[in-house]
Chains A and B, each alone.
Chain A
Amino acid sequence: MTVTTSSSTPRVKRMQRIVILGATSGIALEVQRQLAQQECELLLVARSPERLVALQSDLLARGAKQVLTCAANLASIPHHAGIFDFVRRSFPDFDTVLLAYGTMQDQKDSEDSVDALLDELNVNFVSATALLTLFAADLEQRRTGCLAALTSVAGDRGRRSNYVYGSAKGALSLFLQGLRSRLHPAGVRVITIKPGPVRTPMTDHLPNSARFADPEQVARDIVRALEHRSPDVLYTPRIWRYVMTAVGQIPESIFKRLSF
C-alpha cells in the first residue's frame, strides 16, 4: 500500500513512518527532532512513560504528523513480543525501524563481574538481535522498508579499554551484515550505523567528552542515510571510516601493546 502511494507521487519520501527503539537515547533524540521537522510519523519505544510524554509533545510541536509511544523495557526479551504486537497493531505500515538503544558500562565492572559482562552483552547484542529478528520477518514479508541499527566504531577492533562494549557492538555489526544479505532479495535495506564518540549522556563521564562529535551532526548523517540509498555501513562523522581503515591496518603484534 505504501509502495503504490510513494511510486505514484514521486515527491513523497520513502521514509514516512518510523519506529524508534530506544527513543530516549542521546542520538535518537536528535534524529527524532529532525524527522519531526520533516513531518514524519513516529512510534517511540522507551522505558520511561514520563519521558515519552515529554518527547511526544515536543515532537508534535516541532512538526511530527503523529507520535505514538510505547513504554517498555527493550532490554527484557520476554517483553519483545508485546512490543512488536503493539507496533503491528497501531502502526501497521511502518516503513523504517531504527534501533538506537545501548549501554556503555565501565569496562572495569565487566572485568570484575560476570554478571556485569553478561548485562552489557545482553542489552547491546542479544536483546538487539532478538528485536531485529521480529521486525525483519515483518518487513521481509511485506517486501519493503528499512532496518537500521546503531552499533559503534568500537566494534571494529577490540581495544584494551573498551572491548566488552566493543565486542557486543561488533557482533551486532556482523549480525546486521548477514541480515542485510538475507533481506536483500526482498528489497529491505539494512543499515549499520557506526558513530564515533558522540557527546551524549552515555559518554559524559569519558575524558575529552567535550571534543566528541555533535549529536546534531551525527543525526543529520543518520537521517540522510535512512532517506537515500546511501552506504550499507554508515560511519559518522565520516572521518571515522578512514580512521578505522587505518586502525585496521595495525598488525596485531603491535595493536596488543596499545593501551587505548
Chain B
Amino acid sequence: MSGQTAATLRKKPAALQPTERILSWGRYPKTAHQHIYKPAWNDQVPEILKAAAPGSLLPYGLGRSYGDSCLNDGRQLIDCRRLNRILGFDESTGMVSCESGVSLSDILDVFLPKGWFLPVTPGTRFVTVGGAIANDVHGKNHHRAGTFGAHVHQIGLHRSHDGLVVCNAEENPDMLRATVGGLGLTGVMAWADIQLKRVRGPLIDVEFIPFQSLKSFLDLSRESDGRFEYTVAWLDCFAGRNARGIFFRGNHSAESGRIIRSKGGPKVPFALPGWWLNRYTIKAFNTAYYRAHAARKGTSVVPCNSFFYPLDSLRQWNLLYGKNGFLQYQCVIPESNVEAFEELLDLVAHSGMGSCLGVLKQFGSAPPAGMLSFPRPGLTLALDFAMRGERTLQLLRSFDRIVLESGGALYPAKDARMSPALFEASFPQWRSFVPFIDPKMSSSFWRRVTEAQ
C-alpha cells in the first residue's frame, strides 16, 4: 500500500540496471555505480545490508565530498537522503535526534527560528547529518568548538552482522569514535543525537580585516581566537608568500533579526566550458574581491547565510569548472613549520593555476573527536584547481611533497588522488580503524589509499 513495501524492495536487486549517474562535488573522478539503493525508512536498511556482497556498499548523502570518499565505483551506494526525519527535540537542552539523511539546512530551517544553531557548520548547509559525522567536518569555530563529531552524543548504526548498534560514551564508545570521521565505512547511520547551540538570532557581527603577509594573518588569528567565535581568511592564491587576503571574524549578534530562507538563488545550468576560469579571469576576480572587501573594512551585521554559506547562494557552482570537474586541495601544516607553508604558497602562486577561493584557517587544539579526524593544530589551506589532466595532478603532487615533509596531512573529504603513502603519513593510526569497518562496506577512496583491491 505504501509505495515501497519490503517485498518490492527485495525484488529490486534482481533488476540491477545502470541508475542515474552519481558524482561527487568535484565531478572527478567519473564513476559508474552498479546500483543505488534508496531506502525511505530505517526498517529497510537491514535487508539491504543482509543481501549485499562483502565490500559492496557505501552510504551516500548529499554528495558534497569533493573527491571519491563518497563514491564506490563499480559497486553500490545506499542513498540516505530519504531518511530525513527529525525524531525528537528537547527544548530545554537543545538536543536534537534525527535520521542520518536530514540536512544541516533542514536543521537550520526548523530550529533557527526557535533560537538554536548548529554547534559546528561547514561552508555549505547542503550536507546531511550522516555526512557531517562521517567526515567529522569542521567550521570557522574550530578553535572554540572542535569538530562536528564533538557534539554528537549518540549514534544508531546499522551494522550488517550486529543489527542496530547504539554508540555513545557508555555503550560502544570505540565504535562511536570510529564512526565519527569514519567515512561511512563503519555502517549505515540510522539516526544521531546532536547538541545544538543557543543563539539570540540569525545575525552575525562580522569584521573584515585586510592583511598582506602570513605573519599578519597569524597575528590576527592569535589575537582574535579569544574574542571571536568564528575566524577564517580568504586568500589571494596569486600573492605567494606575501599572503594577501581578508580576515573574517565574527560572533553571533545580540540583535534579533528576521530569518531569510535561502531556497532559491541563481543556479549554474550546465557545465561551463573549462577554459573560462583561467589565470587571467581568476586574477581579476581575486583583485576585485580583495579590493571590494578591503574597502568594506570594519564591522557590519550580516545574516548567517551570507557569513557561513556564501557559495550556497549560487546553486551547482561546481559546474563552473567545466565538464572535467575540479580538485580541491585541503591540507594542514603544523604551525611550527611556517616556512613549509610559505613554500607551498609560493608554489601555488607560480603555478598560475590557483583558484578564486583560497581559504585559510588556524585550527585550534581540540582533541580529535574521531579516530580518523582530519583537524589538528596547525594552519589549514583549501584551494580549488580545475581538472586539466596530468598537469594538475603533477602540481598537486608537488604540494604533497611539502605536506609530507612538514608533517602535515590531507583531508579525505576533499581528496581524489592522494597516494597511499601520504594517507599513511596523514593518518598513521588507520590500521587500528580497520577492525571497525563493516564487512559489507567499502569506498573508492578507501580502496585507493589502502591499496586493497
Contact = CB atoms under 8 A, between A and B. Distances in A.
Interface of A: 22-26, 29, 46-48, 50-51, 54-55, 57-58, 61-63, 73-75, 101-103, 105, 123, 200-202, 204-205, 207, 209-210
30 contacts: A22-B2, A24-B2, A24-B3, A24-B40, A25-B1, A29-B40, A46-B2, A48-B2, A48-B43, A51-B43, A54-B42, A57-B85, A58-B86, A58-B87, A61-B86, A63-B110, A75-B1, A103-B1, A103-B5, A105-B8, A201-B4, A201-B38, A201-B40, A204-B4, A204-B12, A204-B38, A205-B11, A205-B15, A209-B20, A210-B19
Given A58-B87, A61-B89, A207 B1 contact: no
Contact of A201 (B17, B19, B82, B85): B82
Interface of B: 1-5, 8, 11-12, 15, 17, 19-20, 38, 40-43, 82, 85-89, 99, 110
Contact of A55 (B4, B20, B38, B85): B85
Nearest to A201: B4
A185 B41 CA distance: 42
A54 B41 contact: yes
Contact of A62 (B5, B41, B110): B110
B89 A201 contact: no
**Most chain A CB inside 10 Å of its own CB: which residue of B3, B15, B87:** B3
A202 B4 contact: yes
A205 B110 CA distance: 32
B259 to A, nearest CB: 13
A25 B3 CA distance: 5
B190 to A, nearest CB: 10
A101 B1 contact: yes
B12 A62 contact: no
Contact of A123 (B1, B15, B88, B89): B1
A207 B19 CA distance: 8
Nearest to B40: A201
B97 to A, nearest CB: 8
A103 B5 CA distance: 9
A26 B17 CA distance: 22
A21 to B, nearest CB: 9
B2 A47 contact: yes
B322 to A, nearest CB: 22
A138 B99 CA distance: 38
A58 B85 contact: yes
For the complex of A and B, list the 8 residue pairs with the smallest distance between their C-beta atoms, beginning with the closest: A201-B4, A210-B20, A58-B85, A24-B2, A202-B3, A61-B86, A201-B3, A101-B1
B37 to A, nearest CB: 9
A57 B3 contact: no
Contact of A25 (B2, B8, B15, B89): B2
A51 B6 CA distance: 13
Contacts of B4: 26, 201-202, 204
Nearest to A75: B1
B216 to A, nearest CB: 46
A39 B452 CA distance: 52
A201 B5 CA distance: 9
Contacts of A123: 1
Contacts of A103: 1, 3, 5
Given A205-B8, A205-B11, A209-B20, 12 more contacts: A24-B3, A25-B2, A26-B40, A50-B43, A51-B2, A51-B43, A57-B87, A58-B85, A62-B86, A200-B3, A201-B40, A204-B4
**Most chain B CB inside 10 Å of its own CB: which residue of A55, A73, A75, A103:** A103
A23 to B, nearest CB: 8
A58 B110 CA distance: 10
Given A75-B1, A202-B3, A204-B4, A54 B99 contact: yes
Contacts of A25: 1-3
Contacts of B85: 54-55, 57-58
Contacts of B11: 205
B305 to A, nearest CB: 19
**Most chain B CB inside 10 Å of its own CB: which residue of A23, A26, A46:** A26
Contacts of A29: 40
Given A202-B3, A205-B12, A57 B43 contact: no
Nearest to B17: A207
A51 B20 CA distance: 27
